[in-house]
Amino acid sequence: MSERIGFIGLGHMGGPMARRLHGAGHPLAVCDVNAAALAPFADRAEVTVCGTPRAVAEAADVIFASLPEPAVLEAVATGEDGIIAAAGFRGCLIDLSTTGVTVSRRVAAALTARGIGFLDAPVSGGIRGAEEGTLAVMCAGEAALYEAHRDLLGIIGKNVFYLGAEPGMGQAMKLVNNILSSMALAATSEALAVAAKAGIDPALAVDVLNAGSGSNSATLGQIPRQVLTGRFQGGFLTKHMLKDVKLFEELAESLGVPTIVCEANVNAWRHAVAEGYGDDDFTSIAKMVEARGGVRLREESRAT
């Protein structure tokens, strides 16, 4: 019999991952505070819509969570109506969110004390990766738990990496990934603003960069798909990127590692939120650069 999967958090990333698990033949118990996120699951066979994380735990063998903030993970895992309140649940919570090292370890300790397993398994690869099952999964936790759930992780991720036995190691790797990804987007936006001010078409500049040593994740992905087209629909909010880069900054400080360049990048995202882009797509940091530089990187004729 297929394992009964619980899935909490059905947003831009969680929704597609939950659908992949259901499509692989696993009955689902789902929960989200947003009714619109639950709607696509309401009429599916072998899907139970639950009102609380506790109800999910009472209907599942293993639970995945894809959540926006560290505090939300703690509430879902250890709150009054959280997973820990389901007396009969002795399965495993797999946290796919970016919640930081400290909270990940705190949640792991609380769940382990109640006989519940925990895997720290943040993902990278965006909405397309979530839809196609090609995400990178950065997993940490007891080796036996990882081995027991590796096949499930393989449904959502093409590349599943085991970072080590200590919860939080997956989070650390994800923060390293996101500081570099965010820096590529912020720095490329500024560089293209200079190119545009010098009279070079931004789209042509991206082609040149991708043929040379300036190529990076932003020039290959978010800039041509979201910025030059004027779409700005990367599926991740600017305020959430700020959360991630601040978590990296806190981790680096706790480890005693100076981060001169990364600190400048964190400040760029602070400015983006302070200047009103917090609830906009994270690719909107390019709009801040446009406004500050008096240039335009996008053309309305490219927008679809």
Q: Which residues are catalytic?
A: 174
Provide the token pair at 13.
Answer: 């990333």
Of 47, 37, 28, nearest to 9 by C-alpha is: 37
CA pair distance 116, 146, nearest whole angstrom: 14
How many angstroms separate the CA atoms of 252 and 264, rounded?
A: 14
Cα–Cα–Cα angle for 99, 20, 45, nearest 5°? 115
Tokens representing 180 are 């570099």
CA distances to 137, 153, 161, 210 from 20, rounded to whole Å, are: 15, 11, 19, 32
Q: What angle do CA 103, 105, 108 make, to 5 degrees?
A: 110
d(CA 292, CA 277): 13
Rounded Cα distance, 16 and 22, in Å? 10
Tell me 39's DSSP state: G
Q: How far apart are CA 26 and CA 64, in angstroms?
A: 13
> Token pair for residue 183?
């820096």
CA pair distance 18, 189, nearest whole angstrom: 33
CA neighbours closer than 13 Å in the CB half-sphere of residue 42? 9
